[in-house]
Structure 1
């Protein structure tokens, strides 16, 4: 890839992914229950080797993968992305034992991962999270009796909310306050299996069709063997994950925008109106041109951010924030105008655009709302 276009092999691969998502993944998604983890779909993603690529790919390849799947099957794209988001901290910061235990079944689509950061009082301001990890001294110096390793353990008490894949995940990457310092410096990351005593959850009925839930921690035991990284360094674990996945959230948005744009081109080219077709009307043609231009700009910014991440550039936080901001806001614009140009047919349950209209709203909020992205961009510019 140069600064302006993908190479021929990349374009061919993306084309195959788009066709694959429509032919192999869309039927499985249609059989799934909205708001529930679709384990057959995950297993197929594993069988096709696509989950493997989430962990082995660079940021650009991850973006191309998410964009291409989103074009043909948003449910498959989201299932794949949530596996990466939940398990990437294990790949990056986990022990060898944790990686051996959890990553093979995640890659195969047999185990479901989740990233548990947000709380009822700490969404965009992740450093304000309140889930408490209270230190518990080992008895007689013989360990905590839970987790693995030696030394003290903790008890987790509090709530997490709006957690994708909850409460059906098999394990959670959980961020809790251990209190080494105020704010972000007192946060620690833990790997918490779903069957840990005291951990319960319930699903939430949300606008988006993918599973989202609430988790309650009632003295959930975690030990040194459950740590992801060092105590008090959990916020760095979270941010490292988000810096990788924010551009690819933009890629998800670009995939939806491109699907909406192509549907609009096809519709306006054949829909009879006022003695011709809709596309003959200047107002319609200019709107479609604007949709296409914004989509292309967002696509290029996403690729640039991913390229910067892969190159180890120092300005990744700014580029990632810009890519997510522009792409998600653009996708909202494009899908909304696609619905408008289609008219009432696009409001029917089951129509592609009705589906995209529900899907496109959430990415402007999760993994840092648009307002947070603007704050990050401004902070980096003035640094």
Structure 2
């Protein structure tokens, strides 16, 4: 990767196997990612999942026996994919997030049933926690789970569910206890995407097209995942496992924006020279490079720390996601500004990046939530 890109292969946080992975994913990107998207986002996502599965890249997303996914491998892969295609990053990430609860808490039979299919790309996975009236306050979800004839049945709605229109398997979180029990009354379940009681109530169109939906559950058959009443814990563990990788994707988006900015600035005529000769342009390029390297260091530190398992990683993960996503937004905005009118023209790469980056500051823990996590952990250290 060039000096305007993902410049972290020789950092001490990574090992030789990560450098080999970098080469493999880079080759996949070169062979499979074009400049234009399919008009049918569902079909494009299915094709991306199938291709990533065939290449063996999706194996990184699931547990291997008792060994959980390697976060550094996930981070490196997401950064590379995001630098090439936001939809490819999405397809990869959702296979991990959608099946993460099975990797963490599934029985041996549940793991055997689903993880090989997710890893091969045969089954597309989804993670269903958010509801129409419940976002960051996940402990207050309303979907009900009841045992009827010895079988669990789910009733209610989930909203903003990634892969909601195409999922073959969903990990769903529903209330088995009373509302007063809060988080303690939530359990986790596995649901098949072809269940007759599951339907797409609304396809949700967002600024960066993805297969996103509001889902209706009408007595959907479900399989308990883990222990009853531990669903909230499982949900948070799943998000914690993949949170650092959101920051890595942001680094990938920002790195691509910087490459586009350098390429444009060094070729765009300005007076007797180019845009790159302008002091204001040089200042912006320096700010972009600084922001990317700082974010990449936070991501690499948090991913390494999580893989080593030597400490509570919540603060480091929150810092990595918060800084990387917020700074990527600024970097991409600077790249758009530098491109002038072209920067907001549909079809320009920086315009696509501008749309892609925005959601990362919201999903898997909004920026405001990450600040709370960091502050609470800091105060806890000081006995508060």
Q: What TM-score results when the alignment is normalised by the length of structure 1?
A: 0.90
How far did residue 8 of structure 1 move?
6.7
**2:192 aligned residue:** 193
Matched-pair contact (CA < 8 Å) for 1:298–1:327: yes
**1:141 aligned residue:** none
**1:246 aligned residue:** 243
How far did residue 32 of structure 1 move?
5.6
Matches within 5 A, 1:1-383: 6=14, 10-11=18-19, 13-26=21-34, 30-31=37-38, 33-34=40-41, 38-55=45-62, 56=64, 57-136=69-148, 138=149, 144=150, 153-179=151-177, 182-201=181-200, 202-222=202-222, 226-383=223-380
Matched-pair contact (CA < 8 Å) for 2:42–2:165: no
Matched-pair contact (CA < 8 Å) for 1:127–1:183: yes
Would the alpha carbon gap of residues 311 and 5 (structure 1) be closer, same or farther in structure 2, given more than 3 Å must change? Answer: closer
- Equivalent-residue separation in structure 2 for 1:346 and 1:19 (angstroms): 28
User: What CA deviation, in whole Å up to 9, does each residue of 1:168-197 have, x standing for no partner?
Assistant: 201110000111661211110000112223
**2:6 aligned residue:** none
- Equivalent-residue separation in structure 2 for 1:365 and 1:335 (angstroms): 17
Matched-pair contact (CA < 8 Å) for 1:15–1:68: no
- Equivalent-residue separation in structure 2 for 1:3 and 1:131 (angstroms): 45
Matched-pair contact (CA < 8 Å) for 2:130–2:159: yes
- Equivalent-residue separation in structure 2 for 1:91 and 1:4 (angstroms): 28
- Equivalent-residue separation in structure 1 for 2:32 and 2:221 (angstroms): 41
For structure 1, list consecutive stretches of 5 or more residues without a partner in the other structure: 139-143, 145-152
How far did residue 68 of structure 1 move?
1.0
Matched-pair contact (CA < 8 Å) for 2:199–2:216: yes
Would the alpha carbon gap of residues 78 and 154 (structure 1) be closer, same or farther in structure 2, given more than 3 Å must change? Answer: same
SS in 2 for 1:270: coil
- Equivalent-residue separation in structure 2 for 1:313 and 1:132 (angstroms): 37
Aligned residues: CA RMSD = 2.0
How far did residue 12 of structure 1 move?
5.8
- Equivalent-residue separation in structure 2 for 1:7 and 1:237 (angstroms): 30
The more displaced of 87-96 and 247-256 is 87-96
User: What CA deviation, in whole Å up to 9, does each residue of 1:103-148 have, x standing for no partner?
Assistant: 1121111111100011111111111211111343x3xxxxx2xxxx
**1:149 aligned residue:** none
- Equivalent-residue separation in structure 1 for 2:197 and 2:60 (angstroms): 34
The more displaced of 328-337 and 189-198 is 189-198
Matched-pair contact (CA < 8 Å) for 1:22–1:73: no
How far did residue 261 of structure 1 move?
0.5
- Equivalent-residue separation in structure 1 for 2:205 and 2:42 (angstroms): 7
How far did residue 242 of structure 1 move?
0.8
Would the alpha carbon gap of residues 22 and 30 (structure 1) be closer, same or farther in structure 2, given more than 3 Å must change? Answer: farther
How far did residue 31 of structure 1 move?
3.2
- Equivalent-residue separation in structure 2 for 1:255 and 1:32 (angstroms): 24
How far did residue 273 of structure 1 move?
0.9
Would the alpha carbon gap of residues 4 and 269 (structure 1) be closer, same or farther in structure 2, given more than 3 Å must change? Answer: farther
SS in 1 for 2:266: helix
SS in 2 for 1:284: helix
